[in-house]
Structure 1
Amino acid sequence: MNEENRHIAHGQDLPGFHSLLGYRQVSWEENEAVIELELRPAHRNLGGVIHGGVLTSLLDIAMAQAGTYCPFPGRMRKAVTLSLTTTFTGQCSEGVIRVTGRKRAGGRRIFNSTGEVHDDKGNLLAIGEGTFRIRSGSDKPEGVPI
């Protein structure tokens, strides 16, 4: 992960909804991104376990990142989600969850990624699959200025 992406991912510079979720970037490289979230009461549903919307949002972020890595400091690549499927396979209410996104296939503008969410005991909580479109200007490795 380059220094600028590290700064954005670990500082208060996460934009809007990303800041609300409160995740941290563990790693980000070509074709793979890993993020973690320490669960807080705000992440739980009425049943006291992590809300499916939180899991889906984190999968969306990690899977999009898997196809938009930018090695150039001060620059980034952007994508929009075209489709996203989430399958929930487990529950947890505390601890740290880890989300891994991997780019599986794609062309110059459209790519597919898969993702998994595990709790800190290694239990699988959710899996996802998504299709993303690279935004204009982000199709080259150097992306756009942040």
Structure 2
Amino acid sequence: MLDGEPKSGFQELLDYHLTEWSEDRAVLELTISPKHCNRAGLVHGGVLATLIDTSCGFSATFCPHPGRVRRVVTLQLTTSFTGQVRHGTLRAIAHKKAGGSRIVFCASEVFDENGKLIAMGEGTFRYRTGSETPHGVAL
């Protein structure tokens, strides 16, 4: 993680990386391996949905204060699959679009290494207690 927060077990399992993180924006990257593919040898839709969900969550939770974090829970997530990919690197780019003090709305697009749009989605997220402000909570 860019701020020193340890990886979650799910992040370890899928092996995605937060490569950019700033106010209202997050970028995740994932190098495709066989564990990410379905029976047809294509990246599984669940992997793409995870990248959308996770990148959106990060776009809403940037915390500029060392040793502190912000967290959200997903209330709703939509996904649309627009392409297929077998290998290379995926890049999910998410932006926080709107929201209030507790509920926020974010969108993400997932591209292959050639810049082709593979999937997109939007989500609604609720800040966990203490995460409503940029100060967040202690790690």
Which of 19, 37, 46 does residue 12 from structure 2 map onto?
A: 19
Q: Deviations over 1:86-108 (max 9, x none)?
A: 00000111000100110000000
From the two aligned structures, give the one with the greater helix fraction. Answer: 1
Does the 8 Å contact 1:43/1:50 carry over to 2? yes
State the 1:140 CA deviation.
1.5
State the 1:16 CA deviation.
1.3
Q: Which residue of structure 1 aligns with residue 128 of structure 2?
A: 135
Does the 8 Å contact 1:106/1:112 carry over to 2? yes
1:7 paired with 2:8, answer: no
Q: Which residue of structure 2 aligns with residue 89 of structure 1?
A: 82
State the 1:145 CA deviation.
1.2
SS in 2 for 1:111: strand
1:117 paired with 2:110, answer: yes
Does the 8 Å contact 2:2/2:19 carry over to 1? no
> TM-score if structure 1 supplies the norm length?
0.92
State the 1:7 CA deviation.
2.9
State the 1:18 CA deviation.
1.4
Which of 82, 94, 102 does residue 95 from structure 2 map onto?
A: 102
Which consecutive residues of structure 1, in runs of 5 or more, have no partner in the other structure? none
Does the 8 Å contact 2:83/2:119 carry over to 1? yes
State the 1:24 CA deviation.
1.1
Q: Which residue of structure 2 aligns with residue 34 of structure 1?
A: 27
Structure 2: distance between partners of 1:140 and 1:87: 31
Structure 2: distance between partners of 1:56 and 1:16: 17
- Count of residue pairs brought into register by the alignment: 139
State the 1:139 CA deviation.
0.7
Q: Which residue of structure 2 aligns with residue 61 of structure 1?
A: 54
Structure 1: distance between partners of 2:29 and 2:43: 14
State the 1:56 CA deviation.
0.2
Q: State the Cα RMSD in Å.
A: 1.0
Q: Deviations over 1:27-51 (max 9, x none)?
A: 0000000010000100000110000
